[in-house]
Amino acid sequence: MLGAKGGALPLASLNHISLVCRSVERSLDFYQNVLGFLPIRRPGSFDFTGAWLFNYGIGIHLLQSEDPEKMPRKKEINPKDNHISFQCESLSMVEGKLKEMGIPYIQRRVEEGGIYVDQLFFHDPDGFMIEICNCDNLPVISLSGEPIMACKRVMSLLPQQQQQKAALQL
């Protein structure tokens, strides 16, 4: 198995995702005005068109496609496609804003042991899937028994997770 010698890589956190765009300007507008990211300075030594944004503890790097017309166009919103997910405080407020902005989306609901997670899925201008959810409702339970730090719940939920894990094993 990969990584068996010496364990996994010593990572600290997710830094950024990079997205190739048909139009950096159009994507920049979307990530700023729809998702609330803020433009930040990128190295001036880059010899290609792009933009960097930051918010919510992660960066998004937009890269101009060298051949925008050859980029695939996605029309169907498929929750099983590659996507990035953002936690929100009020899904109804997000849904209202998406309607107000005329952004097509679909809703899904996941249920696990009486706990419900509601999700909204939509595309950025290039068809990359975005999910907005209340995923914090669902406990993150390690299959290996190792403590996991997740979102707001960090270590305060370990006793609750252990109880839920024990209940699932019954």
Q: Given the residues 66, 95, 131, 146, select the one marked as catalytic.
A: 131
- Interatomic CA distance for residues 11 and 79, integer angstroms: 28
Q: What are the domain boundaries of the chain?
A: 14-68, 72-150
Give me the pLDDT at residue 149, please.
64
Give me the pLDDT at residue 155, please.
39
Give me the pLDDT at residue 84, please.
96
Look up 131 and say whether it is catalytic: yes
Phi, psi of 159 (to 5 degrees): -60, -40
> Would you tell me which CATH number, out of the four given (3.30.750.24, 3.40.1390.30, 3.10.180.10, 3.40.50.1370), belongs to the domain 72-150?
3.10.180.10
Residue 127 CB neighbours (<10 A): 15
Low-confidence ranges of the chain (pLDDT < 50): 153-158, 161, 167-168
Give me the pLDDT at residue 154, please.
40
Give the 3-state secondary structure of residue 84: strand
Give me the pLDDT at residue 140, please.
83
- Interatomic CA distance for residues 143 and 62, integer angstroms: 35
Instruction: Determine whether domain 14-68 maps to CATH 3.40.640.10.
Output: no
- Interatomic CA distance for residues 38 and 31, integer angstroms: 8
